[in-house]
């Protein structure tokens, strides 16, 4: 089963397809946010530890805003960036104001993509955020469409009387591609061009050479991050082709954004091939049919039961 994030565990699943010392601060709302929603909020706790929020007395203002609590350092986030973060969510109902979920409690981080498709206040909070920083978004009904308000109510949160407070601790931003010196994977019949920078590699699988019978995993660029664990969520850019025909059946590069997936929910060739790979690596994987889609193949992808699959995968993150 796909692991639930703190944001998904809250009432916003429809919306979200290190500094040191102690911070306790009443922050100013960012430009464009509602002043009333931010007034009086106090966010406390060291960076890297679960925050606590103290709420003003009375009913919650039903207006959205965003706050910056800790500055962080490094490159400021922009649209399209994928952040690794820990998110804590509070339901601001003017009564108990309870936390409804936190990545700190679940013991892992999550990927958050900076996008205008997020609620406006959350988007404003994330744009410009830096690693080690802490930002807060008050998400109220003025950030949501009528359909989103209805869906949230069906899930137990009434935005006509409640707002939500999301505290986001930004840990890092994922690279756009694997970086470093590339080596030839030396798989007979397979060609791989590595243009460098943030550009996509070019995989060619048109060959008369016989496909390997066993799983083959070759490191093209060795990353410097921690090794991927079998139970983690992965962020990756990849291209997949069929051995011998050069038919491309899937590519995150073509879609314009990296993919996230649970390593335990993909074909065996991926889960076996990527477990233990350092984050930041580019690897070439040749997957025999029995570790791919099996005898049935995948009709939607044009993959027969006898096809060997070849992938070039940039492992950009793991949580």
CA 18 and chain centroid, separation: 19
Examine the domain organization and report whether 167 and 198 are in the same domain.
no
Examine the domain organization and report whether 205 and 94 are in the same domain.
no
In a domain, 182, yes or no: no
Res. 67 pLDDT band, cuts 50 70 90: confident
Residues 6 or more apart in contact with residue 119 via CB below 8 angstroms: 12, 15, 64, 137, 139, 143, 144
Examine the domain organization and report whether 111 and 204 are in the same domain.
no
In a domain, 181, yes or no: no
Q: How far, in Å, CA of 318 to CA of 277, rounded?
A: 10
In a domain, 14, yes or no: yes
Examine the domain organization and report whether 162 and 196 are in the same domain.
no
In a domain, 185, yes or no: no
Examine the domain organization and report whether 149 and 256 are in the same domain.
no
Examine the domain organization and report whether 145 and 15 are in the same domain.
yes
Q: Which residue has the higher pLDDT, 120 or 1?
A: 120
Mean model confidence pLDDT for the chain = 88
pTM of the model: 0.86
Strands 163-173 and 216-221: unpaired
CATH number at 211 reads 3.10.50.40
The sheet carrying 42-46 orders its strands as 22-25, 42-46, 52-54
Examine the domain organization and report whether 91 and 168 are in the same domain.
yes
Q: Which domain holds residue 49?
A: 6-173
Examine the domain organization and report whether 84 and 202 are in the same domain.
no
Q: pLDDT digits over 85-138, tens only?
A: 999 999 999 999 999 899 999 999 999 999 999 999 999 999 999 999 999 999
Examine the domain organization and report whether 241 and 129 are in the same domain.
no
Q: Left if phi > 0, otherwise alpha if psi is -120 to 50, otherwise beta: which for 108? A: beta
Quote the number of domains for the chain: 2
- What's residue 40's pLDDT? 77
Examine the domain organization and report whether 216 and 250 are in the same domain.
yes
**180-209 mean pLDDT:** 97
Neighbour count for residue 239 (Cβ, 10 Å): 22
Alpha-carbon distance values, 205 to 143, 177, 193, 271, 285 (Å): 47, 21, 12, 22, 12
- Domain final residue pick, 109, 141, 173: 173
By the 8 A CB rule, do 251 and 241 touch?
no
**261-281 mean pLDDT:** 96
In a domain, 311, yes or no: yes
Q: Closest Cα partner for 32 from 152, 123, 165, 134? A: 123
In a domain, 179, yes or no: no
Positive/negative CA dihedral, 128, 71, 120, 262 = positive
The answer to whether residue 271 scores a pLDDT higher than 80 is yes
In a domain, 186, yes or no: no
Examine the domain organization and report whether 16 and 81 are in the same domain.
yes
In a domain, 83, yes or no: yes
Q: pLDDT digits over 148-192, tens only?
A: 889 888 888 899 999 999 999 999 999 999 999 999 999 999 999
Question: HSE-up of 16 (CA within 13 Å, CB side)?
Answer: 25
- Domain final residue pick, 119, 146, 173: 173
Examine the domain organization and report whether 10 and 152 are in the same domain.
yes
């Amino acid at each position: 089963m796909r692991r639930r994030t703190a944001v998904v565990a809250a009432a916003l699943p429809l919306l979200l397809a290190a500094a040191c010392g102690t911070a306790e601060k009443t922050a100013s709302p960012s430009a464009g946010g509602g002043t009333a929603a931010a007034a009086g909020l106090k966010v406390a706790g060291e960076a890297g530890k679960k925050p606590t929020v103290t709420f003003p007395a009375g009913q919650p203002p039903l207006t959205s805003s965003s706050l910056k609590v800790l500055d962080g350092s490094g490159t400021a986030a922009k649209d399209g960036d994928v952040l690794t973060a820990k998110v804590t969510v509070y339901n601001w109902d003017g009564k108990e104001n309870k936390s409804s979920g936190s990545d700190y409690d679940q013991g892992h981080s999550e990927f958050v993509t900076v996008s205008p498709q997020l609620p406006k206040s959350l988007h404003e909070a994330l744009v410009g955020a830096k690693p080690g920083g802490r930002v807060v978004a008050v998400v109220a009904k003025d950030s949501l469409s009528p359909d989103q308000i209805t869906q949230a109510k069906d899930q137990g949160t009434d935005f006509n009387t409640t707002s939500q407070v999301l505290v986001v601790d930004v840990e890092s931003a994922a690279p756009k591609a694997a970086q470093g010196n590339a080596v030839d994977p030396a798989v007979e019949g397979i060609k791989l061009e590595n243009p460098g920078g943030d550009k996509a590699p070019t995989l060619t699988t048109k060959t008369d050479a016989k496909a390997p019978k066993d799983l083959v995993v070759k490191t093209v660029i060795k990353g410097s991050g921690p090794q991927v664990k079998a139970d983690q969520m992965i962020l990756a850019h990849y291209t997949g082709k069929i051995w011998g025909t050069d038919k491309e059946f899937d590519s995150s590069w073509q879609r314009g954004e990296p993919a996230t997936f649970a390593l335990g929910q993909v074909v065996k060739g991926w889960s076996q091939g990527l477990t233990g790979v350092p984050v930041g690596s580019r690897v070439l994987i040749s997957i025999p049919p029995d570790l791919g889609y099996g005898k049935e193949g995948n009709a939607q992808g044009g993959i027969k039961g006898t096809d060997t699959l070849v992938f070039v995968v940039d492992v950009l993150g793991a949580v």
